[in-house]
Amino acid sequence: MSEPAPPSPSPALRELHVWQDMAFRSAAENMALDEALLGWTLASGAAAIRLYHWDHPACTFGYFDRSGHRDDFTAPGPVRRFTGGGLVEHGEDLTFALTLPAPSDLARADTAKRYRTIHEALAHALVDAGVSTSPVQPDLGASPGPCFQNPVPWDLVDPISGRKLAGGAQRRSRGAVLHQGSVRLPAGLRAPDAPWIPGFLLRLAESVPPLDGTLRDRLLVESRDLVATRYGHAAWNAGIREIG
């Protein structure tokens, strides 16, 4: 069952550094940049978000996924994420990586509360943009399979059709958290600089300064190494190579 989003709560974060990444990148590049951003949060103790899109239709799957649905690990085959969860198809979605430092209340919250907080902020911003949405309630439970065919508690769905609009996956690392979210929207609303996004950001944090340009360049350099050693590597995407 689902119901309308509750009244918008106060922002959970004091400050959130924002990168509205307008470049079209591959799945391996996007996943590498998300992990690099988490590394910066671990080092700096600051929260950040990167909103982005894709240079071609792609699939990602969770770090712990061993479901056996992958039979081609050569580019541009499915790419293994740093976060958990199942198979997600990309290309007609806006995707974002939200990194939360270990000392923040949101990082210390349990997974369900953190997921709900992020999706409530997203739901209110989408409603303001004219997109009807409601959160899936916990009594629905979860089922296996591709993520957008199987909503789980606090995913966002269309209240009329029941079609899933937004989902996410998370991973904790040394107390910090990476949340990777995917939002399926019409073409005019899924660009990283779409007009509804400031409303989403300001529901997450009191202050939303842009991520420093020099830092963005450094993250791009770091991500190239991660593409070469992990996300663009067949062993990583076959689940053979572990973090390290």
Q: What is the pLDDT of residues 1-27, one digit of tens each?
A: 444 555 567 899 999 999 999 999 999
Query: In the structure encoding, which two tokens stand for residue 7, read together?
Result: 């009244």
- Please state the pTM of the whole predicted model: 0.89
243 in a domain, yes or no?
Answer: no
CATH code, domain carrying 223 = 3.30.930.10
128 in a domain, yes or no?
Answer: yes
- pLDDT value of residue 152: 84
242 in a domain, yes or no?
Answer: no
Query: How far, in Å, are 43, 97, 201 from residue 38 at the CA level?
Result: 9, 9, 18
Please list, residue by residue across 168-201, b when 16 or more beta carbons sit within 10 angstroms of its beta carbon and e when fewer do. bbbbebeebbbbbbbbbbeeebbbbebebbebbb
218 in a domain, yes or no?
Answer: yes
- Overall domain count for the chain: 1
Q: Which domain holds residue 170?
A: 13-237
| Average pLDDT rounded to a whole number, residues 205-229 | 97
Burial class (CB in 10 A: 0-12, 13-18, 19+), 129: middle
127 in a domain, yes or no?
Answer: yes
220 in a domain, yes or no?
Answer: yes
- pLDDT value of residue 6: 56
- pLDDT value of residue 8: 62
Q: Is the peptide bond before 6 cis (omega within 30 degrees of 0)?
A: no
1 in a domain, yes or no?
Answer: no
Query: In the structure encoding, which two tokens stand for residue 179, read together?
Result: 């949340």
244 in a domain, yes or no?
Answer: no
